[in-house]
């Protein structure tokens, strides 16, 4: 009997797990929905949308009008232009234009999302289904790393990426010399991966550990090793959790300014760094910054709406048993 046949005839098949997940989603939605919550959400949405709409209108208004009148005057004296977006993409406030830094952000964000997900999914499977000495203690240690502030790791990582730690003529810890490589994103990828791994391992472990043991045992009976079990069974079932964390990590890295400013070379700065300087030295060109802000949210919106169907399933990772 093959592993596929064993999974199909088992009491807890992959299809049943998915059906139970949807049932729990509907139950949670009913319990968390009420008229008061709906009204509060509507009020919050309106309060949040009004200033956002104002910035959106400002991004299309001529600079002279922005500096003399409020955005609400467009209802009585409409005047719009695309020049703000053209200037934001081509001029920039640093050595890089917004268009160049947009490409840099893509080059930083995509690997910085894929790398920790790849490592964390393997580690989560090991913590969930591979018994080894000190597994619980190691998992607690990894989980505890989430409370370590990022700022505490900046100086050690800079030392690691540069020439290492030297006291006098003695090298205590050799470095990698990655900071000396121009046009390199390796330092930013590694830094973001390190900061993301504790949360990624925790989230994926919670989901993978809830997969019915009968499915994994059936695969082992048919002779599947850990590699086959992970890639053919665990990974497809864990896609909701992976996609859910992927959204978090992508948005975090895309909107990051601190880590990229510290670790990225000047020729590889992301969108946030250039966006920060678009308003000019005295802040008199902030209407360009509003245009650049809406350019910067295009990719996050595409990612979120593409993966939103996995989002709730990933957050309800522990609600598929019973």
12-37 pLDDT, tens digit per residue, is 566 776 777 777 777 766 666 677 77
pLDDT at 10 over 90: no
- Distance of alpha carbon 271 from its chain centroid, rounded? 15
Calculate what percentage of the chain has a pLDDT beyond 90. Answer: 12
**What is d(CA 272, CA 287) in angstroms, rounded to the nearest whole number?**
16
- 170 φ, ψ (degrees, to nearest 5): -105, 125
pLDDT at 72 over 60: yes
Count of domains forming the chain: 1
Distances (CA, A) of 132 to 91, 136, 172, 205, 222: 56, 9, 33, 15, 23
Instruction: Say which CATH number the domain at 203 has.
Output: 1.10.3720.10
**What is d(CA 271, CA 106) in angstroms, rounded to the nearest whole number?**
9
Are residues 241 and 207 in contact, defined by beta-carbon separation less than 8 angstroms? yes
Residue 193 tokens, joined: 């991966």
To which H or E segment does residue 270 belong?
none
pLDDT at residue 81 in the model: 85
210-268 pLDDT, tens digit per residue, is 888 888 888 888 888 888 888 888 888 888 888 888 888 999 999 988 888 888 877 77
Distances (CA, A) of 18 to 95, 236, 241: 50, 11, 13
**What is d(CA 252, CA 249) in angstroms, rounded to the nearest whole number?**
5
Judge whether 268 lies within some domain.
Answer: yes
**142: containing domain:** 88-315
Residues 6+ apart with CB under 8 A from 109: 250, 253, 254, 270, 299
Lowest model confidence (mean pLDDT) among 43-52, 78-87, 175-184, 273-282? 175-184
Closest CA to 318 of 69, 105, 17, 79: 17
170-190 pLDDT, tens digit per residue, is 555 556 666 555 557 888 898
- 120 φ, ψ (degrees, to nearest 5): -65, -35
Task: Please tell me whether residue 174 adopts helix, strand or coil conformation.
Answer: strand
Radius of gyration of the chain (CA): 25
């Amino acid at each position: 009997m093959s592993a596929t046949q064993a999974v199909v005839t088992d009491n807890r098949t992959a299809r049943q797990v998915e059906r139970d997940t949807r049932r729990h989603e509907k139950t949670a939605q009913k319990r968390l929905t009420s008229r008061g919550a709906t009204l509060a959400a509507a009020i919050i949405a309106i309060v949040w949308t009004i200033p956002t709409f104002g910035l959106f209108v400002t991004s299309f208004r001529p600079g002279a009008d922005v500096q003399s009148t409020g955005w609400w005057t467009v209802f009585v004296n409409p005047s719009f232009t695309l020049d703000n977006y053209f200037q934001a993409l081509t001029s920039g406030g640093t050595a890089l234009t917004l268009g160049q830094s947009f490409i840099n952000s893509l080059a930083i964000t995509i690997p910085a999302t894929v790398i920790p997900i790849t490592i964390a999914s393997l580690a989560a499977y090991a913590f969930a289904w591979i018994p080894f000495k000190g597994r619980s203690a190691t998992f607690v240690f990894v989980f505890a790393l989430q409370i370590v502030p990022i700022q505490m790791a900046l100086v050690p990582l800079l030392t690691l990426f540069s020439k290492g730690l030297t006291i006098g003529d003695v090298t205590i810890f050799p470095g990698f010399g990655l900071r000396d490589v121009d046009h390199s994103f390796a330092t930013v990828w590694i830094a973001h991966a390190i900061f993301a791994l504790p949360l990624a391992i925790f989230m994926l472990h919670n989901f993978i550990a809830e997969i019915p043991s009968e499915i994994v045992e059936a695969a082992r009976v048919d002779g599947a090793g850990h590699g086959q079990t992970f890639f053919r069974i665990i990974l497809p079932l864990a896609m909701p959790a992976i996609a859910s964390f992927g959204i978090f990590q992508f948005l975090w890295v895309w909107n990051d300014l601190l880590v990229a400013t510290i670790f990225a070379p000047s020729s590889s700065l992301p969108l946030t760094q250039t966006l920060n300087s678009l308003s000019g030295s005295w802040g008199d060109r902030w209407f360009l910054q509003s245009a650049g802000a809406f350019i910067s949210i295009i990719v996050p919106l595409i990612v979120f709406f593409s993966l939103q169907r996995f989002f709730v399933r990933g957050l309800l990772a522990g609600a598929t048993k019973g």
